[in-house]
């Protein structure tokens, strides 16, 4: 039995103030949606994007198989093109792409995941770039579908992507 109405409401408030845990996977979904269109400047009328979760996951899985892998785009590129890098790592909590195109800085090209498929897109001018994936901040992995960077002198695996076209 409740003696005072205020006490009743206070109990409600105490209940509602308890912390709520949201699945941290939300962070990845937010960043994946942002990465799909990363320009941070808003148009004059920001719109709600449709919730991308289902198609993003499907597209990412397809992308691992079908999307033209970067090193196939060898010819006739002038200026820079955007290349997608993909790594399947369902157990990873973070994957960073590092290479000659981003000063080997893990913060520069964060990869976002949908159902264990990590991806990011990087514009590349013509040239030859060594790169690798840094998983969970500690484990180095080469790109399983890319040529090995044969001259690996730091004891960790790296891959190579060559972008054709007229370099300066």
Partner 1 sequence: MSQPLGIDSVEASDAELVRRVRTGDIGAYSTLVARYRNRLGRYAVHMLGDREDAEEALQDSFVRAYRSLDRCDDPARFGAWLYGILVNRCRTSGARAARRRRMFVRDADALNGATHADQADRVEWSDTVNRALARLAPEYREAFLLKHVEDLEYDAMARLTGAGVSALKMRVKRAREQLQRFLKEAEHV
Partner 2 sequence: MILTVLLLMTQVAVQDPRLERLDPETRSLVVSVVDSARAAGLPSEPLIQRALEGVTKGAQGPRIVAAVRRLATDLGTARGALGSGATAPELEAGVAALRAGAGPQVLTQLREARRPPLTMALAVLADLVTSGVPVDSASAIVLAFAPTARDADLVEFRRAVERDISLGAPPGAAASVRALNTGIRSTTDAAVPPGQPPRPPSRP
Interface residue list for partner 2 (CB under 8 A) = 71-72, 74-76, 98, 100, 103-106, 126-128, 130, 134, 140, 147-148, 150-151, 153-156, 158, 160, 162, 164-168
* Distance in angstroms (rounded) separating the CA atoms of residues 13 and 6: 10
* Distance in angstroms (rounded) separating the CA atoms of residues 10 and 167: 70
Q: Which one, 115 or 162, has the nearer CB to partner 2?
A: 162
Out of partner 2, partner 1, none, what residue 148 binds, judged by CB under 5 to 8 A for its kind, is partner 2
Out of partner 1, partner 2, none, what residue 35 binds, judged by CB under 5 to 8 A for its kind, is partner 1
Structure tokens at 131: 């790169």
Structure tokens at 6: 């205020």
Where helices occur in 5-154 by DSSP H, the ranges are: 5-16, 25-36, 53-66
Out of partner 2, partner 1, none, what residue 79 binds, judged by CB under 5 to 8 A for its kind, is none
């Amino acid at each position: 039995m409740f003696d005072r109405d205020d006490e009743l409401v206070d109990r409600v408030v105490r209940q509602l103030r308890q912390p709520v845990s949201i699945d941290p996977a939300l962070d990845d979904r937010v960043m994946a949606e942002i990465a799909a269109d990363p320009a941070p400047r808003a148009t004059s009328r920001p719109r709600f994007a449709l919730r991308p979760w289902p198609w993003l996951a499907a597209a990412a899985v397809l992308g691992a198989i079908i999307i033209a892998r970067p090193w196939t785009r060898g010819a006739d590129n002038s200026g820079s093109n955007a290349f997608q890098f993909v790594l399947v790592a369902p157990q990873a909590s973070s994957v960073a792409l590092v290479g000659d195109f981003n000063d080997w800085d893990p913060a520069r090209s964060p990869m976002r995941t949908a159902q264990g498929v990590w991806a990011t897109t990087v514009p590349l001018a013509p040239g030859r770039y060594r790169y690798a994936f840094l998983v969970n901040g500690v484990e180095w992995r080469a790109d399983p579908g890319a040529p090995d960077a044969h001259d690996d002198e730091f004891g960790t695996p790296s891959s190579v992507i060559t972008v054709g076209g007229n370099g300066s």
